[in-house]
């Protein structure tokens, strides 16, 4: 489906702990999770708590593998017409890397307590970045109606 | 430095084309790039141009490898005190995955024309997602003064 990047390995820099095994029906907005970062990287978290929000990249290890459809129903809603896979946030993508913008509630050593991370317990975390308004946001962004009129 | 995720391969779903070999001094804000997506994935781009902005995840193939420092000068500015690596956007991270929010100017077949992508020519693209305000943005985000007072 796409060319393999040879010689590249991904490293888990940490893991999500929230006791949640299935996506909650009411959504992830209020879910509080711990990101347990490898203790060898504790120092690399210094100053992160000077930001109110962080970006978490994680490996959606439960995503489907093998041949993927190029068209999907948005948000898994069968009532909506299919759209291109890359116009969706489906976890079943060529590289199942999730990206979440979450509130950082607390950092304590190698532990980050965050709110709103949409990842099940045991999800490997591959990167953490500070959220920078302006660079990471777009004030004039528009979306199609099938996103807003679920 | 961190545990390797075994059995995981990353695939290039496309490549950045902009003729730029070095980060431009004036910044990337006005740089227009083409993302040439693998033609086998053309259909997966359908409906993406109904969004004004997209998120591009890319592999920063020129990033340093090997032993990385856990503390860095923010934005490479030696005048600023060092901060933890994950409190920075330095490309030299355990997994050098870049994340950019960019304006989608045009989609034509397997070609995406975008504005503001901070990636040099030849950068492998690993994922493309629609930018969804509210989910991808945080209206009340705050940052430390060393980000704003360069």
Mark A112-131 as b/e (b = at least 16 C-beta within 10 Å).
Answer: bebebbbbbeebbbbbbbbb
Q: Does A138 contact B143 at a Cβ distance shorter than 8 Å?
A: no
* pLDDT for the residue B147: 87
Mean pLDDT of chain A: 93
Q: Does B128 contact A103 at a Cβ distance shorter than 8 Å?
A: no
Tokens of A35: 């990101």
Give A53-65 pLDDT, tens digit per residue.
999 999 999 888 7
What region, left, alpha or beta, does residue B39 occupy, with left being phi > 0 and alpha being psi -120 to 50 degrees? Answer: alpha
Q: Is the pLDDT of residue B94 over 70?
A: yes
To probe the interface with B, which of A52, A125, A138, A149 has the most B CB atoms within 10 Å? Answer: A138
Whole-prediction pTM value? 0.95
Q: Does A2 contact B40 at a Cβ distance shorter than 8 Å?
A: yes
**Averaged pLDDT, A26-38:** 95
Note whether ipTM > 0.85 here: yes
Distance CA A56, CA A118 (A): 10
Pick from A48, A70, A97: CB nearest B87: A48
SS3 B118: coil
Q: Does B131 contact A141 at a Cβ distance shorter than 8 Å?
A: yes
* pLDDT for the residue A97: 97
Q: Is the pLDDT of residue A6 over 90?
A: no
DSSP per residue over B63-101, as a string? S--SS--SEE-GGG-TTSPPEEGGGS--S-SSS-EEEEE
Burial of A25 (0-12, 13-18, 19+ CB in 10 A): exposed
Distance CA B143, CA B112 (A): 31
Q: Does A4 contact B9 at a Cβ distance shorter than 8 Å?
A: yes
CA distance B119 to chain A (A): 14
Q: Does A3 contact B9 at a Cβ distance shorter than 8 Å?
A: no
Give A74-109 pLDDT, tens digit per residue.
988 899 999 999 999 999 999 999 999 999 999 999
Pick from B38, B70, B89: CB nearest A129: B89
Contacts of A8 in chain B (CB under 8 A): 9-10, 59
Contacts of A41 in chain B (CB under 8 A): 1-2, 70, 85-86, 94
What are the angstrom distances between the C-alpha of B128 and each of A17, A18, A33? 27, 27, 26
* pLDDT for the residue A35: 98
Q: Read off φ and ψ for residue B2, nearest 5 degrees.
A: -155, 155
Give B32-63 pLDDT, tens digit per residue.
999 999 999 999 999 999 999 999 999 999 88
Q: Is the pLDDT of residue A118 over 60?
A: yes
* Of residues A22, A54, A63, the one with CA closest to residue A35: A54
Distance CA B142, CA A71 (A): 37
| Residue B29 burial (CB count, 10 A) | 10
Give B115-140 pLDDT, tens digit per residue.
999 999 999 999 999 999 999 999 99
Q: Does A138 contact B83 at a Cβ distance shorter than 8 Å?
A: no
Distance CA B42, CA B60 (A): 23
DSSP per residue over A109-140, as a string? TTEEEEE-----TTPEEEEEEE--TTTS--TT
**Averaged pLDDT, B55-72:** 92
CA distance B34 to chain A (A): 16
* pLDDT for the residue A150: 55
């Amino acid at each position: 489906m796409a060319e393999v990047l040879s010689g590249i390995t991904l490293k888990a820099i940490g893991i999500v702990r929230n006791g949640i095994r299935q996506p909650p029906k009411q959504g992830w907005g209020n879910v509080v999770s711990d990101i347990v970062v490898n203790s060898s990287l504790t120092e690399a978290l210094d100053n992160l708590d000077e930001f109110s929000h962080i970006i978490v990249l994680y490996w959606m290890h439960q995503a489907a593998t093998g041949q993927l459809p190029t068209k999907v129903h948005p948000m898994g809603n069968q009532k909506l017409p299919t759209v291109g896979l890359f116009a969706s946030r489906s976890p079943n993508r060529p590289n199942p890397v999730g990206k979440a913008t979450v509130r950082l509630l607390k950092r304590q050593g190698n532990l980050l307590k965050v709110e709103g991370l949409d990842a099940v317990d045991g999800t490997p975390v591959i990167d953490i970045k500070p959220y920078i308004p302006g660079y990471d946001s777009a004030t004039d962004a528009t979306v199609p109606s099938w996103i807003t009129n679920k």
